[in-house]
Amino acid sequence: MQLIHLAWVDYTILLAYVAFVVGIGWALARYMKTSSDFLISGRSIPTWVTGLAFISANLGALELVGMAASGAKYGIATSHFYWVGAIPAMVFLAVFMMPFYYGSKARSVPEFLQMRFDGRVMTLNAILFAIMTVFASGISMNALAKLLNQLLGWDYNFALVICSGVVLVYVLKGGLTSAIYTEVLQFFMIVLGFAPVVYLGLKDVGGWHAMTQSLHTVAADPAALQLKPAGEVYRPNAWTGAWQPLLAGPESNPMGVDWFAMVFGLGFVLSFGYWCTNFLVVQRAMAAKNMTAARNTPLVAAVPKMFFPALVIVPGMIAIALAVTPGKNYRLPPPPIDSDRFTAAIAVLAKAPTQEFAVTYDGVSAALGQKLNKDKMEALVQSDVVASLGSVLAAEQGAQTAVETNRSALKQLKRGGTASGGDIANAENTVAQAKNTLTQAEKKYQAVAGDLSDRLRDAVAANDYDGVIFSLVKRYCPPGLLGLALTALLASFMSGMAGNVTAFNTVWTYNLYQFGRRKLIDTPRPCTLERSGKAEEVILTPKEPADRHFLWMGKFITVVGILLSIGCAYFAKQYNNAMDIIQLVFGFVNAPIFATMLLAMFWRRTNGTGAFLGLIGGIASSAVFHALTLAEGNTPGLKGGYIHVVQTFPSEMAQNFWLASFAFIGCFVLTVLISLMTEDTKSDEQLKGLVYSLTPKIKDENVPFWQRTAVVGVVLVIVCIILNIIFW
Amino acid sequence: MGLDIRLPIGLMFSLIGVLLVITGFSNGADARSLNINIDLWWGLVLLIFGGLMLFGALLGRKTPPSA
């Protein structure tokens, strides 16, 4: 990707944002008196703030980039992640699960598991979660630093350290409250920064109707945009219909997914698993000031979330519509290529006039490491630029030699000691002239090389979908708006890190450190005392340190968490494959957890042993499923099927959704069976407030009808269904 | 928490709004943004948004925060 140049106004906007987030941290610092203020905001934040933070914590930059990419690859069906996935899950969380999370007074999701079951389930969940958050924040910071490097030419290390430093300052000062407030700021930044881009894009493609027409063209020949292998053709509405192509079967929609995997795998297992059990988002609702506010948090969040596809998916659709519209002069961005590769490719091009086209084509393709478009390459080879390339290179070479010859002549003159001053001055003059010529020749080469790089980039027959959103920002944003859009992006990366770090420090301090201390150090233990010559047996009960200690630990672990994230960012930069494996394992862990939570809250008989072994069994069944299945077009290995390929899926997405469904069922069945086979360990009294059947129903008769959680939830689901029908 | 988040939001977007309006005035319409002076218009939108947030913060200060 080519560099974007920022004007002073863009930098001013960027700096203003940084100044404000740091200022918010500073202003909140005086309220951070106890560990609960710092780690869980002392349960004091109004609903609209927690609600916006709730979606904002999920609306990381990777989501923004990824959803635009999916919008281009799959069209409007990407909105299933919202209208089938997120919204119903958020309503379910609000209506059914929040009463237990908030009412139990647990300080985190793992802590709820500890109250409901025992320390084993909690520790397993807490450790997995802590590792995951650190890696997630590292991956996101790596992406940010890489992006700033590619887009703005900043140094990778500088970008990484500066951005982490800003996050460290405001989280350390204001704790979770700071992170939540910043997330609200980021929410508005994203909405107000990207709305004009979407508006201009839609206007440019000629409005919604013209865009759908263009997308029909795309569906007729997706290979023209390298969206699909040659020969794959779809019905016209493949990119513009959410349900029709899905119901027609996996071969009729670009996602390659069947409707059952979509509804059960994505809609039920993955989305409910994410929105209802991931402490990163649930923590926002738990910070609300009372039960009603906590339950309404996901509902407040659901309203903007429902309309987010317009902001994050439509840009991808605009991009492919633009790419097929003649005269718009837009192509989907090619993958980023190092500048050394271009230099090598240009050296191959210089020989083009003297060799066969096929040799040049293969040579350039090898130099760039990319497949190329034959027609564009042919046009390029026959162009005047390439024809003149030989003479430009020769001129540069000649000027270089001239400088060297004249220089050595001058040296000889000086060394000889016989030359007159005038001769030396003359020779010096010649050297200066030769240098001048060289500079001219180099400038000319730079101009030609720049031109050629652009044309080569254009000839690359592959797309970098993650670059779609930036290509639009670059295309439409003049200075000013550019600063706003880029700051919004930077903001979402940084608040993503802050969100992960604040969830990490809470789980560490309360669930791992404090719990571990109580188990190992602050626990009553027998001790033999020597008293007046007699040995005496006493029970020592060490006192837990005061809250100040845990506040200190929370701050300390925040610093550690950020340092670990930076470490993970470098790890991700260095070992891309290792990162793929780690993300794969996260997938295994995430799929079954919703089964555990569902049984925990709604089936009284579930016990700790069942939950613990069921969860491990669920994770294992994901791993086994992955080892036995493969997506079409992939080779067995990291992508699955490394034991034996029992089942082949039409796409990776389908494989993922089925894996989640399988792991959910595995965990569910195992938990039920093991719970029934082992002893019931907790009494009804202990489970009060933790299990649905033993908890008094929340009375909301005195709340106005239209403000009741269940009523609002139903309304939201109805609106969501209407949206599904409109984009059927 | 004692800090009303509407205050910093309002201040920040008003500031960015002013910056955009100034840029819009001095640079004029840009070919990139389809010859619409988007900086000017969007700057005004941000100013209005920032103003509303500040107004909300002001109202919130007069009425004691409901617990």
Rounded Cα gap, residues A440 and A265, in angstroms: 63
Residue type, A22: V
Cα-based angle A183, A185, A188 (whole degrees, multiple of 5): 110
pLDDT tens figures, A242-260: 888 888 888 888 888 888 8
DSSP calls for B24-66: HHHH---TTTTT--HHHHHHHHHHHHHHHHHHHHHHHHHSPPP
Measured CB to CB, residues of chain B less than 8 Å from chain A are 1-3, 5, 8-9, 11-13, 15-16, 19-20, 22-24, 27, 30, 32-34, 36, 38-39, 42-43, 45-46, 49, 67
Predicted local distance difference test score (pLDDT) of residue A567: 92
- CB-CB under 8 Å, A478 with B30: yes
Query: Which of B2, B9, B42 faces A196 most closely, judged by CB atoms?
Result: B42
pLDDT at A647 exceeding the cut of 80 = yes
More confident residue, A679 or A231: A679
CB pairs under 8 A between A and B: 92
- CB-CB under 8 Å, A203 with B1: no
Q: Which of A288-302, A428-442, A671-685, B26-40 has the lowest mean pLDDT?
A: B26-40
Nearest-Cα residue of chain B relative to residue A19: B12
Residues 6+ apart with CB under 8 A from A718: none
- CB-CB under 8 Å, B11 with A204: no
> Which phi and psi (to 5°) does residue A41 adopt?
60, 20
Q: What size, in residues, is chain B?
A: 67
Q: Chain B closest CA to A200's CA: distance in Å? A: 7
pLDDT at A231 exceeding the cut of 80 = no
Chain B positions in Cβ-Cβ contact with residue A45 (cut-off 8 Å)? 1
- CB-CB under 8 Å, B1 with A41: yes
Rounded Cα gap, residues A372 and A461, in angstroms: 5
The mean per-residue pLDDT over the stretch A434-457 comes to 85
Chain B positions in Cβ-Cβ contact with residue A23 (cut-off 8 Å)? 8
Domain residue ranges of chain B, discontinuous segments joined by + = 6-60
Contact status of A41 with chain B (Cβ, < 8 Å): yes
- Helices of type H across A30-155: 35-40, 47-58, 61-74, 80, 87-92, 98-103, 109-116, 119-152
SS3 (DSSP) at A384: helix
Rounded Cα gap, residues A242 and A713, in angstroms: 23
- A574, exposed or middle or buried, with CB in 10 Å at 0-12, 13-18, 19+? exposed
- Categorise residue A417: left if φ over 0, alpha if ψ from -120 to 50, beta otherwise: left
Kind and range of the H or E element at A332? none
State the pLDDT confidence band at A474, using cuts at 50, 70 and 90: confident
Predicted local distance difference test score (pLDDT) of residue B19: 92
> Which phi and psi (to 5°) does residue A384 adopt?
-65, -35
DSSP calls for A290-328: SHHHHHHHHHHHHHHHHHHHHHHTHHHHHHHHHHHSTTS
SS3 (DSSP) at A269: helix
Residue A129 corresponds to which tokens in the numbers above?
A: 């979660």
Residues 6+ apart with CB under 8 A from A87: A302, A305, A306, A716, A717, A720
State the pLDDT confidence band at B67, using cuts at 50, 70 and 90: very low
Rounded Cα gap, residues A474 and A451, in angstroms: 19
**Contact criterion met (CB below 8 Å) for A276 and A33:** no
Q: Minimal CA–CA distance to A487: which of A2, A154, A15?
A: A15
pLDDT tens figures, A695-723: 777 777 777 777 788 888 888 888 888 88
More confident residue, A668 or A522: A668
Which residues on adjacent β-strands are paired with residue A538? A527
Predicted local distance difference test score (pLDDT) of residue A2: 62
State the pLDDT confidence band at B66, using cuts at 50, 70 and 90: very low
Among all chains, which residue has been given the structure tokens 């109707």? Answer: A209
In terms of average pLDDT, the best of A77-86, A424-433, A665-674 is A665-674
pLDDT tens figures, A167-181: 999 898 888 888 888
Residues 6+ apart with CB under 8 A from A301: A51, A52, A54, A55, A90
- Helices of type H across A206-289: 207-220, 244-247, 259-260, 271-277, 279-286
pLDDT tens figures, A547-606: 888 888 888 999 999 999 999 999 888 877 776 777 777 778 888 888 998 998 888 888
Kind and range of the H or E element at A678? none
Predicted local distance difference test score (pLDDT) of residue B62: 61
Residue A151 corresponds to which tokens in the numbers above?
A: 């887009």
For an interface test with A, which of B33, B49, B66 has the most A Cβ atoms less than 10 Å from its Cβ? B33
Structural domains of chain A, with CATH? 8-326+475-493 (1.20.1730.10), 339-462 (no CATH), 575-696 (no CATH)
Query: Which of A28, A185, A481 faces B9 most closely, judged by CB atoms?
Result: A185
Query: Which of A7, A45, A196 faces B1 most closely, judged by CB atoms?
Result: A45
Helices (H) and strands (E) in chain A, counts: 31, 4
- Helices of type H across A460-480: 468-476
- CB-CB under 8 Å, B36 with A200: yes
Predicted local distance difference test score (pLDDT) of residue A489: 87
Rounded Cα gap, residues A728 and A70, in angstroms: 18
Nearest-Cα residue of chain B relative to residue A49: B5
- A428, exposed or middle or buried, with CB in 10 Å at 0-12, 13-18, 19+? middle
- CB-CB under 8 Å, B12 with A200: no
Query: Which of B12, B20, B36 faces A480 most closely, judged by CB atoms?
Result: B20
A301 vs A89, A271, A294, A296, CA distance in Å?
12, 15, 11, 8
Rounded Cα gap, residues A21 and A19, in angstroms: 6
- CB-CB under 8 Å, B19 with A12: yes
Q: Whole-number mean pLDDT of chain A?
A: 85
A174 vs A34, A180, A337, A506, A554, CA distance in Å?
12, 10, 41, 14, 12
pLDDT at A103 exceeding the cut of 80 = yes
ipTM over 0.85 threshold: yes
- CB-CB under 8 Å, A49 with B5: yes
State the pLDDT confidence band at A670, using cuts at 50, 70 and 90: very high
- CB-CB under 8 Å, B8 with A24: yes
- CB-CB under 8 Å, B23 with A23: no
What does the buried/exposed string (b/e) look like for A10-30 if buried means 16 or more CB atoms within 10 Å of the residue's CB?
bebbbebbbebbbebbebbee
Chain A positions in Cβ-Cβ contact with residue B16 (cut-off 8 Å)? 13, 16, 484
SS3 (DSSP) at A537: strand
pLDDT at A513 exceeding the cut of 50 = yes
The mean per-residue pLDDT over the stretch A609-638 comes to 87
**Whether this model's pTM surpasses 0.80:** yes
- B51, exposed or middle or buried, with CB in 10 Å at 0-12, 13-18, 19+? middle
Contact status of A476 with chain B (Cβ, < 8 Å): yes
Chain A positions in Cβ-Cβ contact with residue B39 (cut-off 8 Å)? 478-481
> Pairing between strand A525-531 and A647-649?
unpaired
- CB-CB under 8 Å, A188 with B15: no
Nearest-Cα residue of chain B relative to residue A474: B32
Among all chains, which residue has been given the structure tokens 């000013």? Answer: A480
Contact status of A481 with chain B (Cβ, < 8 Å): yes
SS (H, E, C) A167-207: HHHHHHHHHHHHHHHHHHHHHHHHHHHHHHHHHHHHHHHCH
Q: Chain B closest CA to A181's CA: distance in Å? A: 7
| % of residues, chain A, pLDDT over 70 | 100
pLDDT at A346 exceeding the cut of 80 = yes
